[in-house]
């Protein structure tokens, strides 16, 4: 034997061989085929990166598509093991300008077109059977809705979780700017990292039109969101443009009563059910709404425990949905109620067929006082009896000392969910109106509205409302709330400044809830002029939005008399 043939290999060559064999062994161990960072060309030539997870073996399969700005899963795959084992391909793509995708990151700007182009590319691949379902939550849910009206022939169904449909509604609510959500989230995904105390400081920055300039890393789109105050072409390019009638696929929306998109989650389903041009599509829009914040599924939310029934396994519902719509397997989906609602207070699920419920009795609860309703120590009351001649309630709103956001539909900058409002109700700039203890259970399920007759010393100002469930131990837990910017009281397209001192009718949308006020509980309404940092602080100057560098105080007056009966409109459900 010629021993010269067995010369030792260089260490580098051995290492390369070892790595190659390790990689091959790891690939063999994966239960699916993993293709990382596959580049998909958009119509303008920009290439977006996607990780693709395919079942082993030959075949054509339905596809679950997710598009994300938050980073796609690697070879461990997240849900890929489950779905590939069940005979699906999973495609997870980085949004434009994020992760390994090319292009410039500009939130909302490109996702409708990029989503459609991606669906068309996926549908043409040899491993796709021509059927795509989309999934994902929050921005990932919006990315689904933004694409829906574009009608890719490959898109068969969607499961958006905690979604919204139009980014303009994300920015402006009742005329006020959703400050913490837009600026806090927008700065974070723009590459700005701040400690919690620095976030609070940053949210106080003025003028708002230059908000994105305060950071070492400039974030120009933050300024653009303020500059585009009206619903213009800028916003039309950043959403589905309210085209619910053009949605042509079955949808399962999943959300929470305390989520920042609670109202949108219900509205999207309801609008498609009412307007879609396809009868089958109208019948196959579904919503599941639990007692959750932006995090779907837990029993404990905020300061309340809603019991084991609240811990819905949303992933199981999604899987059953896809099995039916993408594989035609009977999973009971067609027996689901159109609206599967968690009734807080009773802490149980109930199916309904419409929203609002047909049996709703919209009932007015009028506010009363002798002119001293400020704070919990005041004399504010509420009931179904209309007011007579009663003294109005005054308070001073100072934007330099705003009412803090404590609980509610928050995501960034404040606690979310049900939180005790006692600290808020101690303030002299919060009017508090409370019913007597209830003699029997009372269910409130549906949209909640506040009709407020008010005057201000300012040309423009805000008024807020909050519905609260007061427990027998005195703890007061928020249910839903809202705001109106006075100059937009007639709609966003018709701004009109106030006449100082003149009483004006204002309508405040308090969004939605479902809660049983139990016997012995009391119903409470809080009225003020700020909810910060959830909403921006009104400067009270009446100057163009975003230009103010100082905040002026305003003297507010809330009326409740025979001719100006301020009242809360509650959707009472007969029991």
Write out the catalytic residue numbers: 138, 259, 294
How many helices and strands in the chain, by DSSP H and E?
14, 25
Cβ pair 542, 175 in contact under 8 A: no
Instruction: Give CA separation, 406 vs 290, 431, 531, 573, in Å.
Output: 20, 16, 9, 28
Distance CA 416, CA 259 (A): 8
Bridge partner residues of 280 (DSSP): none
Distance CA 509, CA 176 (A): 12
Rg value, the chain, Cα:
27
Contact 460, 404 (CB under 8 A): no
Distance CA 397, CA 545 (A): 18
Backbone angles phi, psi at 361, to 5 degrees: -110, 100
227: its two tokens: 């500059």
Kind and range of the H or E element at 383? strand 381-383
Instruction: Write the DSSP symbol of residue 310.
Output: G
CA angle 50–55–58, rounded 5-degree value: 110
In sequence order, what are the beta bridge partners of 39?
49
CA 469 to CA 457: how far, in whole Å?
32
Q: How far apart are CA 376 and CA 526, in angstroms?
A: 10
Cα–Cα distance between 93 and 37 in angstroms, integer? 8
CB 122 within 8 A of CB 61: no
Residue 22 Cα distances to 12, 16, 17, 19, 521, angstroms: 15, 10, 9, 5, 65
Locus of tokens 């009896």: 385
Q: Which of 289, 328, 559, 276 is nearest to 445 (CA)?
A: 289
């Amino acid at each position: 034997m010629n021993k010269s043939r067995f010369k030792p290999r260089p260490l580098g060559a051995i290492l390369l061989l070892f790595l190659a064999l390790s990689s091959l062994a790891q690939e063999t161990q994966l239960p699916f085929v993993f293709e990382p960072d596959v580049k998909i060309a958009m119509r303008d030539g920009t290439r977006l990166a996607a990780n693709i997870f395919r079942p082993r073996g030959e075949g054509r399969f339905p596809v679950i598509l997710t598009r994300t700005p938050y980073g796609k899963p690697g070879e461990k795959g997240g849900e890929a093991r489950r779905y590939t084992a069940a005979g699906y391909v999973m495609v997870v793509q980085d949004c434009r300008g994020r992760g390994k995708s090319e292009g410039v990151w500009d939130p909302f700007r490109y996702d409708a077109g990029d989503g459609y182009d991606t669906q068309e590319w996926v549908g043409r691949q040899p491993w796709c059977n021509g059927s795509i379902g989309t999934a994902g939550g929050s921005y990932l849910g919006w990315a689904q809705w933004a694409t829906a009206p574009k009608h890719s022939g490959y898109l068969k169904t969607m499961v958006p979780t905690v979604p919204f449909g139009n980014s303009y509604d994300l920015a402006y609510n009742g005329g006020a700017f959703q400050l913490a959500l837009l600026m806090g989230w927008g700065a974070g995904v723009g590459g700005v990292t701040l400690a919690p105390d620095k976030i609070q400081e940053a949210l106080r920055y003025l003028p708002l039109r230059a908000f994105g300039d305060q950071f070492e890393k400039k974030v120009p789109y933050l300024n653009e969101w303020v500059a585009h105050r009206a619903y213009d072409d800028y916003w039309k390019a950043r959403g589905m443009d309210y085209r619910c009638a053009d949605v042509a696929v079955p949808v399962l929306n999943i959300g929470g009563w305390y989520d920042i998109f609670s109202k949108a989650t219900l509205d999207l389903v309801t609008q498609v059910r009412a307007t879609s041009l396809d009868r089958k599509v109208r019948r196959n829009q579904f919503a599941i709404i639990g007692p959750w914040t932006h995090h779907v599924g837990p029993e404990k939310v905020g300061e309340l425990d809603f019991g084991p029934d609240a811990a819905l396994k949303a992933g199981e519902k999604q899987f059953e949905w896809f099995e039916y719509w993408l594989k035609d397997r009977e999973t009971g989906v067609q027996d689901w109620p159109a609206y599967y609602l968690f009734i807080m207070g009773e802490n149980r699920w109930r199916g309904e067929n419409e929203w609002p419920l047909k049996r709703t009795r919209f009932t007015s609860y009028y506010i009363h006082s002798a002119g001293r309703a400020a704070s919990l120590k005041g004399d504010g009351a509420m009931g179904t009896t209309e007011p007579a001649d009663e003294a109005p309630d005054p308070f001073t709103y100072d934007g330099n000392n705003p009412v803090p956001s404590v609980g509610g539909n928050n995501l960034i900058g404040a606690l979310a969910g049900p939180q005790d409002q006692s600290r808020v109700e101690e303030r002299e700039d919060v009017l508090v109106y409370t019913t007597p203890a209830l003699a029997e259970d009372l269910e409130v399920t549906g949209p909640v509205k506040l009709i407020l007759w008010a005057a201000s010393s300012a040309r423009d100002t805000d008024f807020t409302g909050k519905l609260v469930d007061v427990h027998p131990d005195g703890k007061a837990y928020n249910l839903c709330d809202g705001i109106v910017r006075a100059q937009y009281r007639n709609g966003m397209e018709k701004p009109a400044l106030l006449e100082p001192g003149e009483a004006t009718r204002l309508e405040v949308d308090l969004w939605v809830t479902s809660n049983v006020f139990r016997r012995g509980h009391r119903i409470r309404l809080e009225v003020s002029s700020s909810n910060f940092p959830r909403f921006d602080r009104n400067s009270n100057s009446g100057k163009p939005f975003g230009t103010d560098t100082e905040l002026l105080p305003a003297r507010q007056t809330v009326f409740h008399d025979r001719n100006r009966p301020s009242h809360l409109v509650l959707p009472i459900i007969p029991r």
